[in-house]
Structure formats: structure tokens, C-alpha cells
Structure 1
Amino acid sequence: MDREIVWSRWASDDLVPVAEHISRDSESYAATIVRELVAAARSLRVFAERGRRVPEYDDPAIRELIVRKYRLVYRVHPNRVEVVRIIHGAREMPSSV
């Protein structure tokens, strides 16, 4: 079953500083990372449950994919997947998503 992919405001806002930070060293690498994050999110249309459960949250619907150094955190709904955050792996996860 193909699910709709929806980006939360927070996840969309997370992409900007990721791109800005990386582009200080390489604009092309920043574009590559953003493309990979977007592609990973799109790939969740089918078999969204393949990502691991996020250990910081006690909710089986909240999962993540690791894309290079970033955690693409998403919530699985019956007919859609909501990308909720993009967090650098070295950072603490917010208390709620």
C-alpha cells in the first residue's frame, strides 16, 4: 500500500540549517544530503515500518531512518507517513515530536 508522505513544519524547518551548515564547506555536498533525506522520506510510501523504533519514545508508530549522520524521524499513520524531525545523530532528541 502506498502511503502519502507529509512533512511537518518542524521537519521542513530542520532541513534549512542542515543545508546551511554543510554548505559552508561544500554546496554540492549539502545538496546531496538534502536530496538523500528527501529520497529516504519518499521511500517510506511502501513498507514504512522498516525503520527502527526511536528508543527515546515509547511509541511504536514513531520510527526513524538513518541517513548519513542524520536521523529522519517519522510517524506512521494508517494512510500516511508524517516526517516529524530531521536531527543530527550527535544531538539529543527533543522530549516530544
Structure 2
Amino acid sequence: MRIIWTEKAEKQLNQIFEYIASDSSLYAHRTVGQIIEEVESILSHPRKGRMVPEYERDNIREVFHHPYRIIYLLKDETIEILSVIHGARLLPDDLK
């Protein structure tokens, strides 16, 4: 399996970095690094994340790096990172 980041998820990760970096570039690097580590940990157990309740699809799952939800799609031999969103935000009706 391999990980693919969608353009949307990459943009969200960059926005998280920029937001945190406005106060501390150290914590911005640390937080983004930890999010990336959490994503990479999915490779060893792709179904480790729970099913996203808002979508009720077995192939759309999520793991957490507090306070962020990392939402991904299991697809053949890939794990597609769909979104990295703050847990307090509502998810859109369609992730794509």
C-alpha cells in the first residue's frame, strides 16, 4: 500500500502550519510532523481508524491527532488522505 495526499488535504495541512506558525514555528513544525507520522502509521494497519460517522462508508475512515481529524479513503492498494480538519469544524456533505 501507499499513501496519496489529495490536493485539498495538502492545502489544509499547509493552512494548519501557517496558522500555528503565526505564534510559533517550532510548534507548527512539531504539529505537522506529528500529523504526518499519524498518517504514515496507517500503512501498517489501514483499518485502524474508525469509520467516519458522518459518511457511514466502511472505506472512509479517520484517525486523530488532537484536535485534528485525518480522514482517508481505502482504495485498492492506496490510502488516499482526503482531509485534515479541526475536530470542531463540520464536515462537508462530500469530501471530494
Q: Deviations over 1:32-54 (max 9, x none)?
A: 11001111111111211010111
State the aligned residue count. 95
Q: How much does 1:78 deviate?
A: 2.5
Residues in 2 aligned to 1:9 and 1:82: alpha-carbon distance in whole angstroms? 11
**2:77 counterpart residue number:** 79
**2:62 counterpart residue number:** 64
1:93 aligns with 2:91: yes
Q: How much does 1:24 deviate?
A: 1.5
Could you tell me which amino acid in structure 2 is paired with residue 35 of structure 1? G
Q: How much does 1:55 deviate?
A: 0.5
**2:33 counterpart residue number:** 35
Residues in 2 aligned to 1:35 and 1:93: alpha-carbon distance in whole angstroms? 23
Residues in 2 aligned to 1:58 and 1:44: alpha-carbon distance in whole angstroms? 19
Q: Residues 7-26 of structure 1: matches in 2 within 5 Å?
A: 7-26=5-24
Could you tell me which amino acid in structure 2 is paired with residue 66 of structure 1? F
1:52 aligns with 2:38: no
Q: Which runs of 5+ in 1 are unaligned?
A: none
38-47 or 80-89, which deviates more: 38-47
Which 4+ residue blocks in structure 1 deviate beyond 3 angstroms? none
Could you tell me which amino acid in structure 2 is paired with residue 46 of structure 1? S
TM-score where L is the length of structure 1? 0.93
